[in-house]
Amino acid sequence: MNLFELYKVLNENQQQNNNFLATVIEGENTGSRYFMENGEILAQYGNRKLTEEELQTLKQSEESGIVETENGKFFMEALKQPAHLVICGAGHVAQQVILLAAKVGFKVTVLEDRVSFAGEARRAGADQVICDSFENALKQIPGSENTYFLVVTRGHRYDHVCLSSILRKPHCYVGMMASRGRSALLKKQMEEEGFDRTVLDEIHTPVGMQIHAETPEEIAVSIVSELIKEKNSIRKTSGYDTELMEYLTGQKEPDMPKALATIVARRGSAPRGIGTKMLVLADGRIIGTIGGGCMESEVQHLCLRMLHEEKAEGKLFTVDMTASQAEEEGLVCGGTIRVFLEVLGE
């Protein structure tokens, strides 16, 4: 299997749970990869065959990080499923949430029963808009452990309809825009209808971070900030955005030589997390970022140098950003990162 094919399998199975990508970063056949689901290898790139002991060691991983075996080091990526934000209602606040949530990586679905507001949601950039009653629209949303529900309807009875359906579905977050009084009243009503009080108390309402927001734009910032906090509370890798995946699967410029830089470890307050990736194309273009500044430029030049070597092998590169260096380079923090650099083959 070539590398394009492996990433196609990864891309097709991103919705599944317990996905890991193991990459050899030190030792025999550096750059070999093993895409695993629930401990079973679904796709493999490279000639290295895992020993049974290595496989058992890798299976024990629960989060992203470096795993050492007798024969080398692996970077284990616990792959985060794409976060799906389902917004009930497409009013002025919802429209601003759509704009911001899309920018920070959420797939956004909007449910709205008014045609004109559904059109506004589409113009704001929602990935999917279902124009139907909230009751019927929610029947089309199965929910999952990566589904975030946000209820911003125009009235108490619509909130009730939405929550009654949402709380019966798998989810990782439920938020509702309402006053404390309205929230308490609705929770009391739903408890009397048989809903578990513990589940009701897990609803984020009033929704959003407390930043004294007033305008729709400010309220959207507070809501999306809370969504980001929830999404990033688990140490998993979300380094495969749509554009990067298009290059890794060969959809874009398959014949263009390219090198990949991946942060595999970090200490201190380094600007980007484990699993963050930057693709460097032979003509100097970069896809993604690992933090910016002179540090990123240095990594870019190392990748370009590797692309001009006849048989460049993958290697680990350490960037030590002291506080003073970070200030000079325009970064807000220091810290140390280890980056795995490799030239990608087909």
Tens-place pLDDT, residues 234-278 = 555 555 778 899 999 999 999 999 999 999 998 876 667 888 999
- Spell out the residues 6+ positions from residue 179 whose beta carbon is closer than 8 angstroms to its own: 206
pLDDT computed for residue 98 by the predictor: 98
Report residue 127: phi and psi, to 5°: -70, -35
DSSP result, 134-161: HHHHHTT----TTEEEEE--SSHHHHHH
Report whether 188 contacts 175 (CB < 8 A).
Answer: no
pLDDT computed for residue 66 by the predictor: 93
Which two structure tokens, joined as six digits, stand for 72?
């080398």
> What is the arrangement of strands in the sheet containing 277-281, beginning at the earlier edge strand?
286-288, 277-281, 258-267, 335-343, 315-321
Helix (H) or strand (E) holding 9: helix 3-12
- Spell out the residues 6+ positions from residue 49 whose beta carbon is closer than 8 angstroms to its own: none
**In 3D, which of 142, 128, 180, 134 has the Cα closest to residue 159?**
134
What is the pairing mode between strands 72-78 and 65-69? antiparallel
pLDDT computed for residue 295 by the predictor: 80
Distance, CA of 98 to CA of 193 (rounded, Å): 32
DSSP result, 107-127: EEEEEES-HHHHHHHHHHT-S
CA 318 to chain centre: 25
Report residue 290: phi and psi, to 5°: -115, 15
- Spell out the residues 6+ positions from residue 11 whose beta carbon is closer than 8 angstroms to its own: 240, 245, 249
Q: pLDDT tens digits, the chain, 346 residues: what are they?
A: 899 999 999 988 876 667 899 999 998 889 999 999 888 899 999 988 898 999 999 988 878 899 998 888 999 998 867 789 999 999 999 999 999 999 988 999 999 999 999 999 999 999 999 999 999 999 999 998 889 999 999 988 999 999 999 999 999 999 999 999 999 999 999 999 999 999 999 999 999 999 999 999 999 999 999 999 988 775 555 557 788 999 999 999 999 999 999 999 988 766 678 889 999 999 999 999 888 777 888 899 999 999 999 888 899 999 876 544 444 544 445 578 899 999 997 6
pLDDT computed for residue 99 by the predictor: 97
- Through-space distance between the first and last CA atoms of the chain, rounded to whole angstroms: 9
